[in-house]
Amino acid sequence: MLEDKLLIRKFNRGDGDALRRIYEKYRNDLLKVAAALLNDRSGVEDVLHDVFVSFAKGMGTFQLRGNLKGYLSICIANRARDKNRAAQRQRTVGMDNAGPIRSDISGPAHLAVHSELSERLGSAMAQLPCEQREIIILHLQSRTRFRQIAKSKGVSANTIRSRYRYGLNKLRSILNGELR
């Protein structure tokens, strides 16, 4: 965290190496968040690209509240949500018909999902409401705090906590249905 604050200070002074360090430090985690949230994983690079270009534009005025990884992960989640909606409008296919996340994609980011449980979890995650899925991924993958997510959405931490719990319960019931 202290390192992040130092990096942000340097970044705000226009230090390109600080931006490069931030990118290299969090790139892989952010790609995972994007991959877990996008319905079409071929868009992960676009999402990461958009978030970093937008972040770089904020040079000189960026103020870090909470942790940097959490902030960037929330940006990735917002961008992924926009992208999912845009793709949905284009295809005019509802989320329910979008099917589970698949791993047979090609592109600069090479992705794969292994194991049967992993496939089932991926399928169950895809059935969750978008907001619940986002909170679960942000909290478990990026360790983003409920409070930071809540601030970004303008709701209380308790609301986020509840959505997280509802999401987990729904996942459990989907998996229970499969196991039955």
Binding site for another protein (CB under 8 A): 1-2, 5, 14, 16, 19-20, 23-24, 27-28, 31-32, 35-36, 44-45, 48-49, 52-60, 108-115, 117-118, 121-122, 125, 136-137, 140-141, 145-147, 156-157, 161, 168, 171-172, 175-176, 179-180
Alpha carbon separation from 103 to 36, 98, 139, 160 (Å, rounded):
11, 14, 23, 29
Q: How far apart are CA 157 and CA 179, in angstroms?
A: 33
Residue among 153, 147, 12 at smallest CA distance from 77: 153
Ramachandran assignment for 52, one of left (phi > 0), alpha (psi -120 to 50 degrees), beta (any other):
alpha
In whole angstroms, the minimum distance from the beta carbon of 18 to another protein comes to 10
Of 113 and 130, the one with the shorter C-beta distance to another protein is: 113
Closest approach, Cβ 16 to another protein, in A, equals 5
> Residue 66's CB: how many other CB atoms inside 10 A?
16
Q: Which is nearer to another protein, 86 or 140 (CB)?
A: 140
CB of 156 to another protein, least distance (A): 7
- Smaller CB distance to another protein: residue 93 or 140? 140
Beta carbon nearer to another protein, 16 or 99: 16
Return the number of the residue (92 or 179) whose C-beta is nearest another protein: 179
Q: What are phi and psi of 94, to 5 degrees?
A: -75, 160
What are the tokens at 154?
């303008």
CB of residue 56 vs another protein: minimum separation in angstroms?
Answer: 4
110-125 burial string, b = 16+ CB within 10 Å, else e?
ebebeeeeeeebebbb
**Cβ pair 27, 48 in contact under 8 A:** yes
Q: How far is the CB of 78 from another protein (least distance, A)?
A: 17
